């Protein structure tokens, strides 16, 4: 696996299993060390020379995987086989010395192998355990702890030569010790290990299937996330995003921004010249979130622009688009819209509101305040809805601020909403700033208020400011 690649869930599991196996083998090394110390004090009837060779060899084999797990980073797939071979060989050495005491130890490699959720690796471990156990039992006959039942002799025979002679004499009498050991010692232990193997591989196979399903889900989520990122860029590109928007027009300044709560959102804004003297302004919020809201947003935005460019009044635009959106609206989605037409030469604004937030207006030296206009019903909510228009005169230096409910309803960790009062305070903290700086100030104030709480709704804002005659484009800020 290359460093730049994201590891799969199986690779992550294998790394975790390697660390866990190395830890278990370190514990086994500690147990073997304790057995060695006990033998020194005479707790086991084992030749000291043999014990002094077997125990250090077993401890080293148990500790080797801990070292390999740290340094063998590029061969993790082969590492588990090396680690398990060390484990089985270490148990085989100890079992050859302590034949009776190591009965249960052989199940440990099989149990550990199941943590890798790899049937092939578990098959390998079972085969290795059966072979190593068979070898260690016969080696134990000649060198390990004396077992009177196995040898059928109460006399403790010391040395390989004496035991070999005893086994030959027993065979001559018709007592085949080697065959009896295989039948009554090896086969029962092997049967128990096969049962452990069947239980373990059944559980690991089930977990493997779940991990495979999870891996498939993760890949699907990554694919969807990538597509949503593309959709987010497309959505942003659909909105006016180049500022200054009309550098050749000295009569006004405009700025807008959208911060979606998800990859794609349902809020949208728009502004465009209907003709040389009329600027259309749109601020809208589609019900719901995510892809459905984004698709409905594209439809609504297109219809609003087409209707307004046909020369209809704001009221007529909303009525026409409402009827169009009501057609085949099986998902019962709707959109709130504030729509206005600004006459550039006179500063007169004609607007209509379809269930949207109250706009904020700054006139003269009074600062920003809410304009509580008459709301009509939301678009796509009911056919043949009727809407009202109103006019607003913007003087030189006056400004209009429109937004979606994500601004006022931004919530902090104490579940307290930001509210329009805080929004107006933020606007009035820099009343003479340019539209861009006004929006930045409001967004910064929202961020300070919300803190670490997550954003649950889109935050969209637009500000239009009528410039003073002969004034430079820049405004005081801060």
pLDDT 10s digits, 274-328:
999 999 999 999 887 777 777 888 889 999 999 999 989 999 999 999 999 998 8
Asked whether the beta carbons of 111 and 196 are under 8 A apart, the reply is: yes
As a whole-number percent, the residues of the chain with pLDDT over 70 amount to: 92
- 230, 315, 342, 348, 467 from 307: Cα distances, Å: 28, 11, 16, 20, 28
Residue matched to tokens 């297109």: 302
The answer, yes or no, to whether residue 428 has pLDDT greater than 90, is: yes
- Tally of CB atoms within 10 A around 81: 14
Share of the chain above pLDDT 90, in %: 47
| Closest residue by Cα to residue 109 from 95, 97, 119, 124 | 124
Q: Find the mean pLDDT for residues 84-108.
A: 88
**What pLDDT does 76 receive?**
63
pLDDT (tens digit per residue) in 380-411: 999 999 999 999 999 999 999 999 999 999 99
- What domains, with CATH codes, occur in the chain? 9-221 (no CATH), 242-466 (3.60.40.10)
pTM recorded for the entire structure: 0.59
CB 420 within 8 A of CB 410: no
* Confidence category of residue 474, pLDDT binned at 50, 70, 90: very low
Higher pLDDT, 465 or 18: 465
State the pLDDT at residue 325.
Answer: 93
Residues in the chain: 478
pLDDT value of position 5: 56
pLDDT of 45 higher than 90: no
pLDDT in tens, 331-344: 889 999 999 999 99
Structure-model confidence comparison of residues 425 and 469, the more confident one: 425
Lowest mean pLDDT among 115-129, 244-258, 285-299, 379-393: 285-299
* 186/72: higher pLDDT: 186
């Amino acid at each position: 696996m290359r460093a730049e690649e994201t590891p799969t869930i199986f690779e992550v599991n294998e790394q975790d299993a390697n660390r866990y196996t190395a830890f278990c083998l370190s514990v086994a090394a500690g147990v073997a060390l304790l057995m060695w110390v006990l033998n020194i004090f005479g707790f086991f009837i084992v030749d000291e020379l043999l014990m002094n060779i077997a125990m250090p060899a077993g401890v080293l084999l148990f500790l080797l995987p801990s070292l390999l797990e740290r340094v063998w980073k590029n061969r993790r797939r082969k590492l588990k086989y090396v680690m398990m071979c060390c484990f089985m060989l270490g148990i085989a050495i100890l079992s050859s010395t302590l034949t009776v005491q190591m009965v249960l130890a052989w199940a440990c490699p099989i149990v550990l192998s199941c943590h890798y959720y790899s049937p092939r690796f578990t098959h390998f471990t079972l085969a290795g355990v059966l072979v190593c156990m068979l070898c260690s039992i016969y080696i134990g006959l000649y060198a390990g702890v004396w077992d009177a039942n196995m040898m059928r002799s109460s006399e403790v025979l010391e040395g390989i030569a004496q035991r070999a002679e005893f086994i030959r004499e027993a065979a001559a009498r018709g007592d085949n010790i080697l065959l009896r050991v295989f039948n009554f010692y090896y086969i029962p232990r092997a049967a128990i290990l096969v049962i452990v193997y069947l239980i373990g591989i059944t559980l690991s196979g089930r977990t493997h299937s779940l991990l495979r399903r999870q891996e498939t889900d993760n890949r699907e989520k990554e694919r969807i996330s990538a597509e949503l990122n593309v959709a987010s860029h497309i959505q942003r590109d659909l909105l006016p995003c180049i500022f200054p928007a009309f550098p050749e027009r000295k009569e006004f300044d405009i700025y807008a921004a959208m911060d979606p709560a998800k990859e794609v959102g349902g809020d949208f804004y728009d502004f465009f010249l209907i003709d040389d003297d009329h600027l259309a302004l749109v601020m809208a919020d589609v019900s719901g979130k995510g892809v459905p809201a984004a698709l409905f947003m594209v439809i609504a935005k297109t219809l609003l622009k087409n209707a307004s460019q046909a020369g209809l009044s704001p009221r007529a635009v909303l009525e026409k688009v409402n009827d169009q959106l009501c057609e085949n609206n099986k998902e019962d989605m709707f959109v709130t819209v504030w729509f206005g037409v600004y006459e550039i030469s006179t500063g007169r604004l004609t607007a209509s509101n379809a269930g949207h937030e109250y706009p904020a207006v700054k006139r003269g030296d009074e600062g920003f305040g809410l304009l509580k206009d008459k709301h009509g019903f939301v678009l796509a909510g009911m056919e043949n809805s009727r809407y009202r228009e109103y006019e607003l005169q913007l003087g030189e230096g006056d400004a209009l601020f429109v937004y979606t409910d994500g601004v006022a309803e931004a919530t902090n960790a104490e579940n307290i909403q930001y509210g329009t009062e805080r929004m107006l305070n933020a606007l009035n903290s820099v009343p003479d700033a340019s539209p861009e700086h006004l929006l930045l100030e409001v967004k910064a104030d929202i961020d300070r208020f919300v803190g670490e709480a997550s954003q649950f709704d889109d935050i969209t804002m637009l500000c239009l400011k009528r410039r003073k005659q002969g004034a430079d484009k820049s405004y005081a800020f801060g």
